[in-house]
Amino acid sequence: MSLPLSPPFYPMEAKRVAEIPDGPNWAYEPKWDGFRCIAFRDGSKIELLSKAAKPLTRYFPEIAEALLAVKAKHFVLDGELIVPVEGRLSFDDLLQRIHPAASRVRKLAEERPGRYVAFDYLVDQKATLLTGLSFEARRTKLERFFASFLKRQDSLALSLSTREIARAQRWLKNLRGQLDGIVAKRIDEPYRSGERSMLKVKNLRTADCVVGGFRYAESGGVVGSLLLGLYQRGALHHVGFTSSMPLAQRESLTRKVEKLIQRPGFTGRRPGGPSRWSTERSAEWQPLKPALVVEVEFDHFTGERFRHGTKFLRWRPDKDPRQCTFKQVEYESKVPITDLLVGA
């Protein structure tokens, strides 16, 4: 018996929309803040693949062992690798797993074990391909598979799914700061590998930040990005950047910030060197007197910084820079993330 799917295999993805779609043909799930992962079990062989079809198996030995302990010998699951810590998701602990030393990976797996959260079923235990079935049919089969084979494994879990939009809206609201958002799936759709056939609503928040510095655009002459800071115990720490300011305002903004160039800019953590996206020139930055406050929109704050670039919303001349503290970006939810897992 052999699997009808084999690596490389690309998962079905989601396109972003502003609101959760409503109607009888939609199912809703949490959008987990982890690593998307296709899990293959073929006899004694386990393979974990990332969204880009890159191997992840060696970085999550506890998940591979749990899947190997399942009595079913053949299956393919779509899901998410997460690391829950004290009822919250820790993306920083997840990132630390991508380490070249097997001994380090094993140590991290023992100290803060990960979980594999399944939310779709692509090949069943009889090696039957399920991707042509509707999501409703696949979900029913997945729930039965979980009840029969996965429920007794602590490292494996089943993501909740609901047809009630009010419940999905509560997830989005009450788990703000933890979930990545909500995914909406058509219950009558087959599994479309590599296509953006699902919809996602991101869990967005806003924060007021001090502009502690800026970088010139690579072309030179005008501001390329503003460097953002938040206060903690009297020190201004660099927490990220925003580069979505209107192009028409760049020249006047440049004149404005150049008048405020003053060391040190940040008195706590400072901007680092070049990132994988930047050049040596773009990594150079100018420190500013902490006088400007900007409101930005963001999706994730982890590891004491915005994980992605933020969206510029507006200037806040009415706000005292000292009011821009880390308290704004603390987790707002007290609900354990495990409440969204079946069998947690």
CATH of the domain at 213: 2.40.50.140
Q: What is the pLDDT of residue 278?
A: 43
Whether residue 120 is found in the same domain as residue 233:
no
Q: What is the CATH number of the domain that holds 155?
A: 3.30.470.30
Is residue 174 included in any domain, yes or no? no
Q: Is residue 279 part of a domain?
A: yes
Last residue of a domain, one of 132, 162, 192: 162
pLDDT, one tens digit for every residue, the chain (344 residues): 789 999 999 999 999 999 999 999 999 999 998 999 999 999 999 999 999 999 999 999 999 999 999 999 999 999 999 999 888 888 889 999 999 999 999 999 999 999 999 999 999 999 999 999 999 999 999 999 999 998 878 899 999 999 999 999 999 888 876 788 999 999 999 999 999 999 999 988 899 999 999 999 988 789 999 999 999 999 999 999 999 998 888 999 999 999 999 999 999 999 974 443 344 544 589 999 999 999 999 988 887 899 888 999 999 999 999 999 999 988 666 667 777 888 55
Token readout for 36 is 């998307």
What is the value of pTM for the model shown?
0.82
299 vs 203: CA distance, rounded Å: 6
In this structure, the answer to whether residues 158 and 211 fall within a common structural domain is no
Alpha helices, DSSP H, located in the chain: 61-68, 91-96, 102-111, 135-145, 165-174, 250-258
Task: Single out the catalytic residue among 15, 31, 256, 259.
Answer: 31
State the Cα–Cα distance between residues 230 and 237, nearest whole angstrom. Answer: 5
Q: How many residues does the chain have?
A: 344
DSSP string, 147-159: IIIITT-TTEEEE
Q: Is residue 4 part of a domain?
A: no
Q: Which of 162, 178, 193 is the last residue of a domain?
A: 162
289 is an active site residue: no
Domain co-membership, 223 together with 110: no
Which of these three, 137, 162, 187, is where a domain ends?
162
Query: Is there a single domain that holds both residue 43 and residue 158?
Result: yes
Is 278 within the bounds of a domain?
Answer: yes
Are 209 and 317 in a shared domain?
yes
**What range defines the domain where residue 67 resides?**
32-162
Q: Quick check: is 264 in a domain? A: yes
d(CA 111, CA 61): 13
Identify whether residues 149 and 217 lie together within a single domain: no
> Rounded CA gap, 209 and 225, in Å?
14
- How many Å apart are CA 331 and CA 225, to the nearest integer? 26
Q: Are 37 and 153 in a shared domain?
A: yes
157 and 40 within one domain:
yes
State whether 147 and 217 are in the same domain.
Answer: no
**Which backbone phi and psi does 135 adopt, to 5 degrees?**
-60, -40
Residue 180 lies in a domain: no
Place of tokens 């023992």: 110
CA distance 70 to 65: 9
Residues 64, 106 contacting (CB under 8 angstroms): no
Question: Are 104 and 42 part of one and the same domain?
Answer: yes
Domain match, 130 and 251 both: no
pLDDT at position 274, please? 43
Co-location of 154 and 217 in the same domain: no
Q: Tokens 């090696």 correspond to what residue?
A: 127
Domain count, the chain: 2
Q: What are phi and psi of 222, to 5 degrees?
A: -130, 165
Residue 185 domain-assigned (yes or no): no
Distance between CA 244 and CA 68 in Å, rounded?
Answer: 47
Q: Which two tokens stand for residue 260?
A: 């405020």
Instruction: Indicate whether 220 belongs to any domain.
Output: yes
